[in-house]
Amino acid sequence: MTQGSATAGELSSDTISQEVDTFEEIWSLATLYGNEGNPILQKFAISGRFHADYSHLESNQGDYSDFDARRLRIGFKSQWFQDFTLHVEADLDAENVDFDFDSESYKGLTDAYLGWSPNKQWNLKLGKQSAGFTLDGKTSSKKLLTLERSNLANNLWFSKEYFTGISASVKHNKWSYFAGAFSSAVPKELTEFDAGNFGILSTYYDLTDQTGGEESILTLDYVYNEPHQNNGTRSFEQVVSLNHRYENDLWGLRSEVSAGQGYDDQSDVWGVSIMPFYNLNDKLQLVTRYTHMTSADANGLRLNRYENIIESGRGDSYHEGYAGLNWYIYNHKLKCQSGVTYTQMRDLTNDGGAYDGWGLNLGLRMYW
């Protein structure tokens, strides 16, 4: 290596370091108070996220193009008495921002819980919180590698996401366990207990020592959902998901196979999703995904968010291919994402639900 190239490399490293320091300084402004030595209040920080999308879809069933200010949330997260976390966050209409909580722009609370974590092995939450299962369903929208959750999650997971309940997680050596019980009602704030209930049991096993890499986690999720006419969940009485996350410095693979037992008019559904990704460098990442789903009976499957605007009917067999590029400006806290999808859904009854088309999606993701 010549002296000139070494100098260029050093300058490049210095530039990256300066960028990181600048972002850290900006993001640190969200922490309004921090003092680990205070026995009562250790931290108080503003929390939230902003997501924006541009989507262009062309299909045999119609076209769609629009800009969507997707998510805007604002709240706070605080640490008390060393072991307790109080987190409250509100969901706002990003296209009609009005901080008057009596206005239509206030959509309700997402997180509103008290957490207790006496050590790194135990965590207990009481209140409104994310009820995660399936591979993408348990991944925060802040840290998705694709612009949309897989349609397997969209069909089986309870996409309202935030439910009032109690949950506990514990870690022991290579094993981790999660158990949660929730009300299926979805009011703006805490639950009204006018619907059914559901429970989640998850078991995690750390395979990193066997497979190498930075992360290798195998997870089994089981959900029992009490059927009720007022449920804000999907109409599945039972859901099972086996999923795996693997990642090393250069590449990773996320995969799952999941199935749901429907009730009322909802058919039983099963599907698979596989998502390989490759890190070009510290900033750029290539992501691909293939998703397939089948329902036991007709009209058991729904399309994903933007395809559903074009065709809101239901089908019985689904295929999707995705290829995207992520640009991590400041890790997941500030990133731009792009993706191209090809989606096909069959509708044997021919009563509205068939879909065949391409889509281009661009997105900005930011959280603090």
Indicate if the pLDDT at residue 4 is higher than 90.
Answer: no
Cβ–Cβ < 8 Å for 204, 125: no
pLDDT computed for residue 104 by the predictor:
78
Angle at 141 between CA 221 and CA 362, to 5 degrees: 130
Cβ–Cβ < 8 Å for 239, 133: yes
43-86 pLDDT, tens digit per residue, is: 999 999 999 999 999 999 999 999 999 999 999 999 999 999 99
pLDDT computed for residue 168 by the predictor:
98
Phi, psi of 5 (to 5 degrees): -70, -35
CA 162/CA 366 separation, integer angstroms: 20
Angle at 361 between CA 358 and CA 366, to 5 degrees: 160
CA 87/CA 78 separation, integer angstroms: 6
pLDDT computed for residue 2 by the predictor:
34
Instruction: Retrieve residue 96's tokens.
Output: 């009609």
The total of other beta-carbon atoms located within 10 Å of residue 121's CB is 12
What DSSP string runs through 37-49? T-SSEEEEEEEEE
Indicate if the pLDDT at residue 12 is higher than 70.
Answer: no
Cβ–Cβ < 8 Å for 338, 324: yes
CA 178/CA 131 separation, integer angstroms: 11
The SS3 call for residue 64 is strand
User: Cα-atom radius of gyration of the chain, to the nearest Å?
Assistant: 22
H or E element at residue 205:
strand 197-206
Tokens 């790194």 belong to residue: 120
297-320 pLDDT, tens digit per residue, is: 999 999 999 999 999 999 999 999
